[in-house]
Structure 1
């Protein structure tokens, strides 16, 4: 009986110690998360985090942030962001000391995807390019480009190639299968994935069927300029000449109103200059001839004795 009492007492002591330890741990965690000055610790980036980066403990640190102004989707500890069960990948660039938010990282155990980069109402569309139409590989993800389309315009028995601006200031999501350029060097890709509206996605799909698309690299931060949108035709393939329709789409009607383009080889040859006509000259008069007749008996003979020209 005495032995059983000792065992029960020892068990009670052990359980009490465990309870005290757990209580102290909970209170300590509460003090660390909530400071007396009204701030709460949140996770921020310790280094620049690019798209596709898997979060590691050394990339994260905790800072005090005003409790009444906590960013939505912030995290209170690094344990929520790393580990086998909490593997997270960056889906939008995060700067140093910027709060790590749920909108900028993937879900638990998920990887980065192009779909996660799309804003509301936008679509991702890939277009075929080559070393020329892709600006020799100098276009990189996150650059802004214009999209040109070169196609054939028909007008009765006449057809002509024209080039239009299809889209302006369009963001590049990926080049080929790369959503970021880790080397920083130009790389030629076979496709470019663009961020567009649903209607512009339809335009690109149709444009690839009826013509050839080319990308034009823009200066960062430059705004759209509708006044620069022109339709260029074969009539404009001369230095300093523009005969297209200013700021309007080319149709059969507007095309017929443009000056007709004539290949140089088909132009009529230049006629030589006409020589002035010479004045007519009067014919030279026949020379005056003198004859002498000599009669011998019954025979008469005529002799020419000389002539004088008139």
Structure 2
């Protein structure tokens, strides 16, 4: 009797345990399926300015609570969209990293609204030994003859443009590489006014690029460097102005009257003096 009751209790406990396992597994499946969301990510490295296609992106399950804003769930909706920044493998494709719909691929896709791209010829010195890479900021210095000076010694070096974005070096636009590259041309992003200044600067003198900190937004107002300021030579002191000459007043002496001989003449009671 006692053994029969023990078997019954064991059977009930086994059934309760089995039911608990079934319900727990169902809860885990439902919870896990609702905690993830399909997100479009890069299937491989995508270069800046490259149009997206189904070979470059795919969909993965992403934890719902950690999805960044601006993601996509359908890979087909991104067909032909151009990326503004390079994407690494597995990186989510965000709307903020894409050019507007209808933009064609290439360098023109990464130029900011209202800006222009202009290319300047450089060498290993002008191009900061190849450290001016896409994504860096530079200042532009022009060395030319000082206005109004005909002497070649009166040359001047002046910063004409500040915080100019480097879009590309030669034909490379990738911003992921940090290795210096010595090239013969650098493409800069400028405003229309800056494009005019830069074109004039390279026609009147020689250009140099000055690499600057990417987060430094301060601008400086310099007067330019000349030979005089470089060597610290004081400017020639101007001779003191001569005092105006005082007018000379000429005094003329009175001319003495000529000497004459005079005699007295009596005529009756009248008398007179005659001189000759």
Q: TM-score, normalised by structure 2?
A: 0.59
Q: Partners of 1:102 and 1:222 in 2: how far apart?
A: 23
Alignment of 1:32-181 (within 5 A): 41-45=38-42, 49-52=46-49, 57=55, 59-62=57-60, 63=62, 71=70, 75-81=72-78, 86=79, 90-94=83-87, 97-101=91-95, 104=98, 112-155=105-148, 158-159=151-152, 160-180=154-174
- Displacement of 1:87 in angstroms is 5.6
Q: Comparing both chains, which one has the higher relative contact order based on Cα–Cα distances under 8 Å and sequence gaps of 6 or more?
A: 2
Equivalent residue number for residue 14 of structure 1: none
* The one of 196, 201, 216 aligned to 2:195: 201
**SS of residue paired to 1:226:** coil
In structure 1, distance between residues paired with 2:207 and 2:176: 27
Which runs of 5 or more structure 1 residues have no equivalent in the other structure?
1-34, 244-257, 261-310
CA deviation map 1:192-213 (0-9, x unaligned): 1111111000001111111111
| TM-score of the two chains, using structure 1 as the length reference | 0.53
Count of residues paired in the alignment: 198
**C-alpha RMSD over aligned residues:** 3.5
Aligned match for 1:212, one of 206, 210, 215: 206
The aligned residue for residue 29 of structure 2 is none
Q: Deviation of residue 75 (structure 1)?
A: 3.9
CA contact (8 A) 2:81 2:98 kept: no
Q: Indicate how the Cα distance of structure 1 residues 156 and 103 shifts in structure 2: closer, same or farther if over 3 A, else same.
A: closer
Deviation at 1:154, TM superposition (A): 4.3
5 Å-filtered alignment, 1:15-30, equals: none
Q: After TM superposition, give the deviation of residue 144 of structure 1 in Å.
A: 0.4
Quick one: distance in 2 between partners of 1:102 and 1:220? Answer: 20
1:259 matched to which residue of 2? 235
Q: 2:40 & 2:139 partners in 1: Cα distance?
A: 39
For the residue of structure 1 that corresponds to 2:200, the secondary structure is: helix
